[in-house]
Amino acid sequence: MTRHSSLIPIVAALLLSSTCLAGSAPSAAPPSPRALWQRIARLMHEPGSILPGSRIDQPGSRPVDAYTIDRADPASRQAILHAGGIVHLHRYPSGALLIKENFSRPGRMTGVTAMLKIPGYDASDRNWLMASYAPNGHVLAYGKVATCIGCHALVRRQDFVYAPPPTQLLPVAFIEAFFPGQKVTAIYRKLIAAHPANVVH
* C-alpha pair distances (Å), 112 with each of 64, 194, 198: 11, 28, 25
Burial of 179 (0-12, 13-18, 19+ CB in 10 A): middle
The tally of domains found in the chain comes to 1
Q: What is the pTM of this model?
A: 0.84
What region does 143 belong to: left with phi over 0, alpha with psi -120 to 50, or beta? left
Indicate whether 110 belongs to any domain: yes
Q: How many CB atoms lie within 10 A of CB 46?
A: 13
Would you write out the chain's pLDDT as a tens digit for each of its 201 residues? Answer: 444 444 443 334 333 333 333 344 567 899 999 999 999 999 999 999 999 999 999 999 999 999 999 999 999 999 999 999 999 999 999 999 999 999 999 999 999 999 999 999 999 889 999 999 999 999 999 999 988 988 999 999 999 999 999 999 999 999 999 899 999 999 999 999 999 999 998
DSSP label of 54: -
Q: Which domain holds residue 176?
A: 7-18+26-194
How far is residue 21's CA from residue 7's CA, in Å, rounded to a whole number?
23
DSSP per-residue letters across 100-143 = EEEEEETTEEEEEEEEEE-TTS-GGGTTEEEEEE-TTS-EEEEE
CB 120 within 8 A of CB 114: no
Residue 34, domain CATH = 3.50.70
How far is residue 97's CA from residue 35's CA, in Å, rounded to a whole number?
13
Indicate whether 126 belongs to any domain: yes
